[in-house]
Amino acid sequence: MGSILEINDTLQLTTEQGFPEDIFSLKRHRQHPIVIDEVKDLVFEFSGKPRPRLFHLDPVRVYWFHNIDGKWLAWGHIVIIEQTITKHPRFEHQGPLNVSSPEQWVTSGKYRVVKVYDPEYQELFTRKDAPPGRSFFQD
């Protein structure tokens, strides 16, 4: 009552929010596909996701996308190993005291990659499963 919490099965990140574009480069992936053994033991962090949200917890998979200028590029599956919801430091609450404003919260966390799509499937999945108008490969 009075608060909004979003539950997500997809984590889409900009580079600024923590997408590891230095490791997951589409150009590199198409030339020399990244395989899970290269990244399975790495822990990645994200921050600055607007609004309070919960992601499925390990061992349940979360779909993983890179948001590039508003276009989504699918990379595979991750598992969330830690998540935190904090009050945005520059947000001053206005309105009724018993009603939370979702804009005052940000979500951050840590995850591990558990599945990397091969380049062919990556393009197919992105075309078919990115939200309408958001596919990186949009025609």
Answer whether 20's CB lies under 8 Å from 4's CB: no
| Domain assignment of residue 30, given as a range | 6-129
- 136 within some domain: no
How far is the C-alpha of 82 from the C-alpha of 80, rounded, in Å?
6
Do the beta carbons of residue 137 and residue 72 sit within 8 Å? no
**Residue 104: per-residue pLDDT:** 80
Question: What confidence score (pLDDT) does residue 80 get?
Answer: 98
139 part of a folded domain:
no
- Asked whether residue 1 is assigned to any structural domain, the reply reads no
Query: In this structure, what token pair is assigned to residue 101?
Result: 């404003």
| The model's pTM | 0.90
* 24 assigned to some structural domain: yes
For strands 44-50 and 105-116, give the pairing.
antiparallel
In a domain, 134, yes or no: no
* pLDDT tens, the chain, 139 aa long: 456 778 999 999 999 999 999 999 999 999 999 999 999 999 999 999 998 999 999 999 999 999 999 999 999 999 999 999 998 767 676 666 666 677 788 999 999 999 999 999 999 999 999 999 999 998 6
Q: Write the pLDDT tens digit of every residue in 36-57.
A: 999 999 999 999 999 899 999 9
Domains of the chain: total: 1
